[in-house]
Amino acid sequence: MIQSIDNQHRKAFGPIDAPERLLLGPGPSNAHPNVLNALALPPIGHLDPFYVNLMGEVQELLRYAWQTSNRLTLPMSGTGSAAMEATIANVVEPGDTVLVAVKGYFGNRLVDMAGRYGANICTIEKNWGQAFSLNDIEDALIKYKPNLLTIVHAETSTGVCQPMEGIGDLCRKYDCLLLVDTVTSLGAVPLYLDEWKVDLAYSCSQKGLSCPPGLGPFTMNERAEKKLSLRKGKVPNWYLDVSLLNKYWGSDRVYHHTAPVNMNFGIREALRLLAEEGLEKSWARHRTNAEKLWTGLEEIGLTLHVENDLRLPTLTTVKIPEGVDGKAFTLHLLNTYGVEVGVGLGDLAGKVWRIGLMGYNSTSQNVEKVLNLFDTEMSKFKK
């Protein structure tokens, strides 16, 4: 006789009543109301003609956001980390040499991922708060002769924006693919993938695009496609195999997996709003608001972790003053005012706060709000 399931797990829960939050941490950012409306549309089939047409619109808008003409550009069905892994999985084979430029937490994640695909990992490192020079990169390319160089453009853990001009030229000179993390820069910080000769890039939906987490924009150019086509074996990750995904996102539209239709409604609206504003205006808005934040923080006596010329407009790292309980302060902001500010990761744990001004949240009003809270509330948390 079949035993019934124990009723101890049948609980009476009410409908979700989520608290209102102003997300001024390292991500996610608050989603634009139009994006939330798009997410709430009735779902349709992932091979419906309307949806198939929308897929093409999403791809074209992603090309605009990244300033690329790459044929193979699509949103991975997964978070930014899925897109991150897809870049590695598709072009790295056992025995390949992968050079990772590590200057923060997410450089270390690239080391971990590439190692899982059998790569011979080499690293160059900078202190968390610094960036690499062209000489640093060229010396490492000569020394290690890698098949692939990976580098984070906008390092979320440190608030550093890596200068990219010239790195792609070096990779072409030394016959190496260039993979760039644009998770905290897409839509908000100047990006020129084709001009910079970037071969592979990935991002996320929940930061500069102001869409909830759940999609990972991915792109690769013809050089990367050639590396994929010359693999000795199959891509070891079936779900992220771009040679299969391209049959769905390419002209054939052959079923691969059940796509998250409503998430693609959302990112399509987010990208449409970005195109409506215009990249240059979005980049300028993020820069203006970041500079206002930087000035205001320094005026109330706080020290920024990154030098001015390397600061990331979307993510600011602020040194926690001596004698202040940084974590308790952030919990107070969240629980009392509904404002989320991030704390440090890895080498910067306990040393910095991370303030995000991304996409829809990058406004003068939000800058004024967070500055006022730091000015009036921080002194209450001296140890």
In order of their start, the domains of the chain are 22-28+279-381 (3.90.1150.10), 33-275 (3.40.640.10)
Are β-strands 200-202 and 177-181 bridged in parallel, bridged antiparallel, or unpaired?
parallel
Tell me which residue has tokens 């052959």.
254
Identify the pLDDT of residue 8.
Answer: 80
Assess contact for 154 and 161: CB atoms under 8 A. Answer: yes
48-96, pLDDT tens digit by residue?
Answer: 999 999 999 999 999 999 999 999 999 999 999 999 999 999 999 999 9
| pLDDT above 80: residue 4 | no
Residues 322-358 as b or e (16 or more Cβ within 10 Å = b): eebbbeebbebbbeeeebbbbbbbeebeeebbbbbbb
| pLDDT above 70: residue 5 | no
Q: How many CA atoms lie within 13 A of 30 on its CB side?
A: 19
The whole model's pTM is what? 0.95
In this prediction, residue 9 has a pLDDT band, given cuts at 50, 70 and 90, of confident
Sheet order of strands, 342-343 included = 315-319, 352-356, 342-343
Coil, strand or helix at 292: helix
Summarize the confidence of residues 91-114 as an average pLDDT. 97
| Whole-angstrom distance, CA of residue 56 vs CA of residue 361 | 28
Helix axis angle for 80-91 and 222-229, nearest 10°, is: 60
170-226, pLDDT tens digit by residue?
Answer: 999 999 999 999 999 999 999 999 999 999 999 999 999 999 999 999 999 999 999
Assess contact for 115 and 123: CB atoms under 8 A. Answer: no
Assess contact for 215 and 55: CB atoms under 8 A. Answer: no
| pLDDT above 90: residue 1 | no
Q: Which helix (H) or strand (E) holds 161?
A: strand 160-161
Identify the pLDDT of residue 307.
Answer: 97
